[in-house]
Amino acid sequence: MGKTTGFLEYERREGKVREEAERVQDFKEFHERLPLSEQQIQACRCMNCGVPFCQAGAMLAGMASGCPLHNLVPEINELVYRGRMAEAFRRLSVTHPFPEFTCRVCPALCEAACTCGYEGEAVSTKENEKAVIEYAFEHGLVSDGEPAVRTGKRVAIVGSGPSGLAAAKELNRRGHLVTVYERRDRIGGLLRYGIPNMKLDKSVIDRRIELMERAGISFVINTDIGKDIPASKLVSEYDAVVLACGASNPRDIKVPGRDAKGIRFAVDFLSEVTKSLLDTGFAKFPTELAKGKHVIVIGGGDTGNDCVGTSIRLGAKSVTQLEMMPEPPAKRLPSNSWPEWPRVLKTDYGQEEAIWKFGSDPRIYRTTVKEFIKDKKGNVKAAVLISLEPKKDPATGRMNMVPIEGSEKEVPADLVLIAAGFLGSEKYVTDDFGVELDGRTNVRTAPGEHATSRAKVYVTGDMHRGQSLVVWALSEGVGVAKQVDRDLMGYTNL
């Protein structure tokens, strides 16, 4: 262990974050890196504890504790502290297909389970990993070369989000010929169009795709499997087909006035913004989408926060974010003990920017929309909000959030963004492949498996487990690659 008392001698430090006044003027990433010498000191805070919960990826109280990829965190931190960055990269690469993605967008399940965080501040594992992967790219260490031997087996992957890309990388490394189909005009799926550029610069995706193409992976864009090409064609032409289409069926809200113009699903809005930026080379911002408008975001999760930050960058007049659930506590409750995921109040970048710009937190808790009001042209002009309270359902015993009659309040609304989550896979894809679904419209498999009810067809990612984090999608992609490889070859060394 490099620095036995490091966690006692040094306080946690993070890379600089650009001030709100500067960063809302562009769509560039705003989390900067510490100098490598300072990052090494942060790595020496790792306690190398007897039970490294940071890498467990175990489910506690219904939520993950530690990294689902099982990165060997203490080993990597030790190597960073020693300045052995090339070795740190090799160690990280054994378990992690794309550290450059999670070090930007992951909520750091590893840090939430860090033993050092039990009494103090967790080790900055996420920024340590960013230092490792960026060092590797800067020094030419990331080289996904084409495998020396090909198996002759062909695998089609439908969807180029994080799970599909992870599966493609692993299967190609094994020697299978992999073709990835993407219905959009660019590769990346959720990474490309669901996450704003200020969180994940799209050049980070492009440099990885270039390496994957060099390694022999084929990418086919603007091709919607189930519409442009029937499922039967893929199943007949390939030895295996992996469905990695995501949980792309957005949850709607059904209230009077929902048909008004100006009410959109959040991911559609974020996708349009990103596509416009990419198509113009970031020379023009699509301000016409939100400038001068009163924006209401329905949903308090990461996507809702992204909508807040994006709307501010596009010149919104006001931004209000609605959250059905009560405001979380500032600190852990006794019922939410470490190393469970901390269910505490988190103020993310979008909310920070709203506080800076408008003077108050945009979030209104225990609130939903009762009705939308239209103008004469059918555009949304206002929303009637109603407060909620928790009440136990006598039939099921579950606590439900129910409206409080008489608490209605009308607020102006020119643009409404629904970020209420997703209901599962899209019907036209699952119907065309003829795969069985579970009660949540995810593709059904045996527990812990990825094979569907149709021969040669597998499933991975959000389409399999439901809407989740990028790190879980990567874990799923690695898992499905192992099963496909084993079924094709009789064994797997992945």
| H/E stretch holding 207 | helix 202-214
Same domain, 40 and 86: yes
Q: What is the pLDDT of residues 290-349, one digit of tens each?
A: 999 999 999 999 999 999 999 999 999 999 999 999 999 999 999 999 999 999 999 999
Same domain, 70 and 187: no
d(C-alpha 419, C-alpha 431), whole Å:
26
How many domains does the chain divide into?
3
Q: Is the pLDDT reported for residue 144 higher than 80?
A: no
User: What's the CATH code of the domain at 92?
Assistant: 1.10.1060.10
Tell me the residue range of the domain where 435 lies: 154-248+423-489
Same domain, 234 and 281: no
Q: What is the pLDDT of residues 21-63, one digit of tens each?
A: 999 999 999 999 999 999 999 999 998 788 899 999 998 888 8
Domain assignment present for 88: yes
Q: Final residue of a domain: which of 418, 444, 461?
A: 418
Same domain, 161 and 295: no
User: Nearest to residue 297, comparing CAs of 277, 270, 276, 333?
Assistant: 270
Same domain, 235 and 159: yes
Give the model's pLDDT for residue 465.
Answer: 93
Same domain, 414 and 428: no
Q: Is the pLDDT reported for residue 1 higher than 70?
A: no
Q: Is the pLDDT reported for residue 82 higher than 80?
A: yes
Structure-block tokens of residue 187: 């590769």
pLDDT bracket for residue 11 (50, 70, 90): very high
Q: Final residue of a domain: which of 418, 435, 453?
A: 418
Per cent of the chain over pLDDT 70 is 100
Same domain, 327 and 397: yes
**Residue 292 neighbours by CB under 8 Å, 6+ apart:** 315, 316, 317, 414
Domain assignment present for 475: yes
Q: Final residue of a domain: which of 418, 436, 465?
A: 418
Structure-block tokens of residue 415: 């643009």
Torsion of CA 456, 457, 458, 461, to 10 degrees: 160
Give the model's pLDDT for residue 47.
Answer: 87
Q: What is the pLDDT of residues 384-394, one digit of tens each?
A: 999 999 998 88
Give the model's pLDDT for residue 145.
Answer: 79
**Residue 102 neighbours by CB under 8 Å, 6+ apart:** 96, 126, 129, 470, 471, 474
Same domain, 244 and 273: no
